[in-house]
Chain A
Amino acid sequence: MTELNQIDLRALSVGNKRTWDAFVAAAAPLINAVVRRALASYRLNEEDVMDAAQDVFVRLCANDFRLLKTYDPARAGLSTWLAVVARSAAIDHARRRRQATQPIDDVPEALLGVEDRHVEKLKIPQGLLTERQILILKCLYDEERDVADVAQLLRIDAQTVRSTHHKALLRLRAHFGEEPP
């Protein structure tokens, strides 16, 4: 089977049938995994998950492969970009589906909270912590992830995550004198 990184993108973006079939075979496991994981909290049935995965492929080839043509191999790997696209397409699909079929009173409050897209601002002074330190603290405390998960995300070893976390807390404690503002 052809690997994703062996796909001829030029032929794919002009709609070559054989290249598209090879692309589908190579990308289906990744898109399937990403879509299932993204929709796990939406409690959709198997048909809806299949539709969401199909929606990813539709987006890729719609309007003369417009989305696919935005991909730049010099910037990111095809599988990573595809995973990002698949996840956002799946979330959009689930939201559209829920809006169309489910009264809002029937949706659990916790699930509605997922859609509440916002950015949290910290009360800590700007520049006290680096962006990476903030991200590590957020992943560890707000997302309640393991050190290993954060290390995998940032492509660094677990010890680096621990030391970054430790240094960040030392700075916070030193700045606020152990007392939160």
Chain B
Amino acid sequence: MSTERTNPSDKELWRSFVTGPVVSVPITDLEFAAWLEGRLPEWEAARIEAAVAGDPEMRRAALELADILGKPLPQAPARLEVRARTLVGFAVEKRFEQPVEPPAPSRVSLFDWLFAWNRNFALQRAVTLTAAVLLAVSGFMVGGGLSETLAAERYAKNWQTTDPYSSNELTDFLALDSI
């Protein structure tokens, strides 16, 4: 680093202009950081520079921080990291990691889907409807055939039990008594 110093007579001249204190201008941390990085437009930088020029504490802060930020940093003590890590715990983590469930899609019933007014999936809907009609018709036909068969079987059984020529317990009894 340079050890270049300024002329002592210039220094005396400068010091003779300094007078008493006045109220400081509030500067936010973000504004100060932006100024340190040289990101501010000229008019805004001038405002910060006026504040820094007028406040010895801000001047010291600016010079210190510019020096620290321009150099490689030494490793921090492990204890510092360990203590700082404990500040944010697992309860917060758990809250954070709970998956945010997307809003549940509104459930659409099969009936709504089949008879929806829009034209989405028209072919699929037509095929499904045709299949449903075919299934219903074939189901009806099969069901009808079955019932006919059952009715015939029942009739045949009834006819057998009511056959006048067939014997049962009563006729057997009467036959024994020669009636």
Which residue on chain B has the smallest CB distance to residue A118? B21
Task: Give the Cβ gap from A3 to chain B, nearest Cβ, in Å.
Answer: 12
Interchain nearest-CB distance for B148 vs A (Å): 72
Q: Is B64 an interface residue (CB 8 A)?
A: yes
From A28, A120, A165, give the contact of B19 (CB < 8 A).
A120
**What separation, in Å, do the CA atoms of A53 and B79 have in the docked complex?**
11
B65 touches A180 (CB 8 A): no
Does B92 sit within 8 A of A, measured CB to CB?
Answer: yes
Select one of B16, B22, B81 contacting A119, CB under 8 A. Answer: B22
* A7 located at the interface, meaning its Cβ lies under 8 Å from any Cβ of chain B in the complex: no
Please report the C-alpha to C-alpha distance between residue A163 and residue B66 in the assembled complex, in whole angstroms: 21
Whether A85 lies near B29 (C-beta < 8 A) is yes
Known contacts being A15-B95, A70-B30, A146-B2, is A137 close to B66, with CB within 8 Å?
Answer: no
Instruction: Report how far A145 CA is from B2 CA in the complex, Å.
Output: 10
A5 at the interface (CB under 8 A from B): no
Cross-chain contact B61 with A143 (CB below 8 angstroms): no
Given contacts A17-B92, A70-B30, A121-B20, contact A153 B63 (CB under 8 A): yes
Q: Please, which residues of chain A bring their CB within 8 A of the CB of B63? A: 139, 143, 145, 149-150, 153
The answer to whether B154 has its CB under 8 Å from any CB of chain A is no
Those of B5-19 within 8 Å (CB) of chain A: 5-6, 10-11, 13-19
Is B76 a contact partner of A28 (Cβ separation < 8 A)? yes
Confirm or deny: B102 has a beta carbon within 8 angstroms of a beta carbon on chain A: no
User: A residues within 8 A CB of B16?
Assistant: 180-181
Q: Please state if A140 and B74 are interface contacts (CB–CB under 8 Å).
A: no
Q: In the complex, which residues of chain A have a beta carbon less than 8 angstroms from the beta carbon of B36?
A: 76, 80, 84, 153
The interface residues of chain B lying within 8 Å CB-to-CB of A80 are 33-34, 36-37, 65, 69
- Chain B, 98-131, CB within 8 A of any chain A CB: none
B37 to chain A minimum Cβ distance, whole angstroms, is 5
- B-contact bits for A126-142, CB 8 A (1 contact / 0 none): 00001110110111111
Any chain A CB within 8 A of the CB of B163?
A: no
Residues of B within 8 A of A145 (CB): 63
Interface CB pairs A-B, < 8 A, 21: A16-B97, A29-B73, A30-B73, A31-B80, A38-B64, A58-B87, A70-B29, A81-B30, A83-B33, A84-B29, A117-B57, A121-B19, A122-B17, A140-B11, A143-B59, A143-B60, A143-B63, A146-B1, A152-B67, A158-B4, A165-B6
